[in-house]
Chain A
Amino acid sequence: MPDAAPGAITAELSALGQGSPDALARLAPLVYDHLHRLAAGQMRGERAAHTLQPTALVHEAFLRLQSGLPPDVRSRAQFYALAARIMRGILVDHARARATEKRGGGAALPLTKPGSLPAPNAPLDLEAFLDIHLALQTLDARDPHLARLVEMRFFAGMTAEDIALALDLSVHAIRHDLRLGQAWLKKELSKAPVK
Chain B
Amino acid sequence: MTPDLRRHFNHLAPLPPEARAAELDSLALPPDLRLELEQLLAADSLTDGLIERPIRDAANSLATTTAPLQLGVWRTTGLLGQGGMGVVYKAERTDGTVEQTAAIKLLYRGLETQDLLARFQRERTILARLSHPNIARFLDAGATPEGLPWFAMEFVDGTALDRYCDAKNLSPEARVRLLIQVCAAVQHAHGHLVIHRDIKPDNILVTADGTPVLLDFGIAQILGETRPGAPVTRAMTPDYASPEQLRGDPATTSTDVYLLGAVLNRILGTLPLGDLTNIVRRAMHVDPARRYTTPTELAADLTAWLNGLPVAATPDSFFYRTHRFIARHRWPVAIAALAFLATAASALIAVNQARLAEKHFRDVRALANVFLFDFEAAIHNLEGATKARELVITTAKQYLDNLSAQDSRDPALQRELAEAWVKLARLQGGQTFASTVRRTDAIDSFYKSLRLRQALGDDRTSNPELRRTYILLTGNLITALVLAQRSAEAMPISNAAVESAEAFARDLPANRDAVRALYLAHHSRAVLCMELGNAACSIAAADRSLAVIRAWGEKHPGDRRIELDTASAELYVAQAGSAYGNYQAARDAARSMVARMERIAKLGPPTPESRRSAILAWQALGIALGAESPSLPAQPDEAADALRKALAINTSIRDKDRNNNLAQEDQMLINSLLGGVLCSSRPAEAIAVLEPLRTEILAWLEKNPDNFNVQKTLADVRNDLGRALRLTHRPELALKEHLESLALSDAILAGTPTDGISRKARVISLIRAAESESDLSRAPAALAHLDQSQQALAAMTKATPADASLSELTTEANKRREEIQKKLR
Interface residue ranges, A against B (CB under 8 Å): 39-41, 43-48, 50-52, 54, 87, 90-91, 94-95, 98, 111-113, 115-120, 122-126, 128-129, 131-132, 142-143, 146, 150, 154-155, 176-177, 179-180, 182-187, 189-190
Contacts and interface: CB of A to CB of B under 8 A. Distances in A.
Contacts of A119: 61, 64-65, 79
Given A125-B57, A154-B51, A187-B40, A44 B1 contact: no
B65 A48 contact: no
Interface string B776-813: 00000000000000000000000000000000000000
A176 B62 CA distance: 32
A185 B85 CA distance: 35
Contact of B66 (A44, A46, A126, A187): A44
Given A45-B110, A180-B6, A190-B50, A122 B58 contact: no
Nearest to B85: A48
Contacts of A129: 54-55, 57-58
Interface class of chain A by DSSP: helix
Contacts of A94: 58, 61-62, 65
B56 interface: yes
8 contacts: A39-B62, A43-B62, A47-B64, A98-B61, A117-B79, A129-B55, A183-B41, A187-B42
Given A117-B68, A183-B44, 16 more contacts: A45-B108, A46-B63, A48-B85, A54-B59, A98-B65, A116-B67, A117-B79, A125-B53, A180-B6, A182-B48, A184-B1, A186-B44, A186-B46, A186-B48, A186-B50, A190-B43
Contacts of B57: 122-125, 128-129
Contacts of A185: 51
Contacts of B42: 187
A91 B55 CA distance: 8
A183 B13 contact: yes
Nearest to B63: A43
B81 A120 contact: yes
A10 B250 CA distance: 51
A186 B51 contact: yes
B62 A91 contact: yes
A109 to B, nearest CB: 9
A184 B84 contact: no
A91 B1 CA distance: 27
Nearest to B69: A117
B39 interface: yes
Contacts of B39: 187
Contact of B60 (A40, A52, A142, A146): A52
Contacts of A176: 6, 10
Given A117-B79, A186-B44, A187-B40, A47 B63 contact: yes
Interface string B226-257: 00000000010000000000000000000000
Given A44-B108, A48-B235, A122 B55 contact: no
Q: For chain B, which range describes its interface: under 10, 10 to 19, 20 to 34, or 35 or more residues?
A: 35 or more
Given A43-B63, A120-B79, A142-B1, A182 B51 contact: yes
B9 interface: yes
B66 A116 contact: yes
B67 A112 contact: yes
A149 B39 CA distance: 21
B78 interface: yes
B748 interface: no
A117 B66 contact: yes
A171 B41 CA distance: 21
A13 to B, nearest CB: 24
Nearest to A187: B43
Name, among A44, A124, A142, A150, the residue most crowded by chain B CB atoms within 10 Å (CB to CB): A44
A9 B58 CA distance: 26
A64 B753 CA distance: 74
B792 to A, nearest CB: 63
Name, among B41, B43, B55, the residue most crowded by chain A CB atoms within 10 Å (CB to CB): B55
B82 interface: yes
A154 B61 contact: no
B62 A90 contact: yes
B749 interface: no
A183 B40 contact: yes
B146 interface: yes
Nearest to A173: B10
B524 to A, nearest CB: 51
Contacts of A113: 67
B54 A48 contact: no
Interface in B686-728: none
B822 interface: no
B83 to A, nearest CB: 10
Which 7 A-B residue pairings sit nearest by Cβ, starting from the closest? Answer: A43-B63, A187-B43, A128-B54, A183-B44, A129-B54, A186-B43, A124-B61
Interface in B18-48: 39-44, 46, 48
Nearest to B79: A120
A122 B64 contact: yes
B602 interface: no
A189 B55 CA distance: 13
A122 B51 CA distance: 18
B109 interface: yes
Given A179-B44, A182-B48, A117 B62 contact: no
B95 interface: no
Nearest to A127: B54
A117 B78 CA distance: 5
A142 B79 CA distance: 43
Contacts of A125: 53-54, 57
A187 B76 CA distance: 44
B66 to A, nearest CB: 6
A138 to B, nearest CB: 12
A117 B63 CA distance: 12
B63 A50 contact: no
Contacts of B62: 39-40, 43, 90-91, 94, 111
B493 interface: no
Nearest to A122: B61
B55 A155 contact: yes
A142 B52 CA distance: 22
Nearest to A123: B57
B117 interface: no
B43 A183 contact: yes
B662 interface: no
Contact of B146 (A41, A117, A123, A182): A41
A39 B66 CA distance: 11
Contacts of B235: 48
Contact of A118 (B43, B78, B109): B78
B140 to A, nearest CB: 20
Given A45-B148, A47-B63, A179-B44, A117 B81 contact: no
